[in-house]
Amino acid sequence: MIYPEKMEINTMVIDATFWVAVSFVIFFGALIYFKIPQKVIEMLDKMISDIKNEIDESEKLRTEAKTLLDNAQKKLDSGQSVSNEILDEAKKDADKLVIELNDKFHKSSDIKKNLAENKISQMKEAAIKEIKDASIKIAVDSVKKIINTSVDKSKLDTVFQKNLDETKEELKKIRS
């Protein structure tokens, strides 16, 4: 026997499940009919492709940046080595210049010293000559006075002439 109450409950449960299943099939059928999965796949593929392109582009940019960085580092290193070479060369030139100037100073000092010594020796010789000339003149004058006051005129002339001749001889010896 069929109980209408049970039938209704069974029909209702079957009906609700059935309608859910039918609507599920219709929904997926509509998705397939309107090609939604393909469009989703195409959109996902496009997004994947865009992301891949961006990754590739960023990889290229990274490579270019690394190349630029390496080139800049090489230029910096070569610039530093060139500046170090310039500094070393400048130090060597400065040392050479100091040595040159020091040598010139010493040579100049030696020349000035020699000139001063020569001048001093010339002045010394001139002073000695002046002293000798003055002493000879004083001696001659003294002898003249002594002779004039102590000896008579005839003896005086002979002694004077004799002393004058001796003095001239001595002067010739000194000068030569």
> Using one digit for the tens of pLDDT, what is the confidence trace for 63-80?
999 999 999 999 998 989
The range of the structural domain enclosing residue 20 comes to 1-35
Q: How far is CA 1 from CA 6, 7, 11, 52, in A?
A: 11, 11, 16, 69
> What tokens appear for 165 in the block?
């001749």
| Model pLDDT for residues 141-165, shown as the tens digit of each residue | 777 777 667 656 677 677 778 888 8
Query: Pick the residue with more confidence: 46 or 132?
Result: 46
Any domain includes 69: no
Any domain includes 9: yes
CA 119, CA 99: separation in Å to the nearest integer?
30
**Whether residue 1 has pLDDT greater than 50:** no
pLDDT of residue 67: 94
User: DSSP characters for 137-156?
Assistant: HHHHHHHHHHHHHHS-HHHH
Any domain includes 146: no
pLDDT of residue 10: 52
Alpha helices in the chain (DSSP H): 4-33, 36-150, 153-175
Count Cβ atoms below 10 Å from residue 143 Cβ, excluding itself: 15
| Model pLDDT for residues 36-47, shown as the tens digit of each residue | 888 888 999 999
Any domain includes 114: no
Any domain includes 123: no
Any domain includes 127: no
Any domain includes 11: yes
pLDDT of residue 71: 93
Number of domains in the chain: 1
**Whether residue 8 has pLDDT greater than 90:** no
Any domain includes 91: no
